[in-house]
Structure 1
Amino acid sequence: MNAIVVSITLFILALLIGIEVIGKVPATLHTPLMSGGNSIHGIVLVGVIIVAAHADTPLALVFVGLAALLGTINVVGGYVVTERMLEMFKPKKAVAKQSDDADAAKAEK
């Protein structure tokens, strides 16, 4: 079989399996799952580094840059979502104290 046909078939199968798995996740677990998945997306950045070593055309370099940009946004977004999610589980006093400390630090500058 042609390599492109195999690649497209694998992509479609992975897409269908991913939709099926994510569709069965309860709403209460969706945010932790997605935030962990986004942080694990850093593997894409490793792939970008490997592919960048073999990129020799301008189009390949554009795709490598785009992949690096989108992968980085996804990783940072995963950590931001995780931090915001963890803030929900902190006691109200601890959150208020942190905001007071942040206000004091801004006032000193």
Structure 2
Amino acid sequence: MNLRLRRTLVVGGKAVFAAVLVGAAGFSAAPAAFAGGQSPSVNGCYVRWWNTASSGYCSPATKTATYYNNYYCSGPLDGWNITGGDRIRKGTSPTWGSAECVIEVTKAKASWTV
């Protein structure tokens, strides 16, 4: 990119220099970063994560149980967190245990109790 002095403007009797940023190929914004993944399935249920969010899914659940989204946040409060505690019936395909991190979810897994 070139920074060129384009013109001198006269505003209120004073000379003001205006700089214009001119790119050789034009302006283009870089795409936003995307990070995500999916945990291994536990009884047909798993957790997906992307950028700052995570959520649990079943396709369908093969066992009636209480399922939890265990997700790892990076940032000021690094560490594992747990959400969910949703009772999911065998044969259903709900979305459950949604969660957010301030900076980024870097990994997640599903867990369950009877």
Give the TM-score taking structure 1 as reference length: 0.23
Q: Relative contact order (alpha carbons < 8 A, sep ≥ 6): 1 or 2 greater?
A: 1
Give the TM-score taking structure 2 as reference length: 0.22
Specify the structure having the higher radius of gyration (Cα): 2
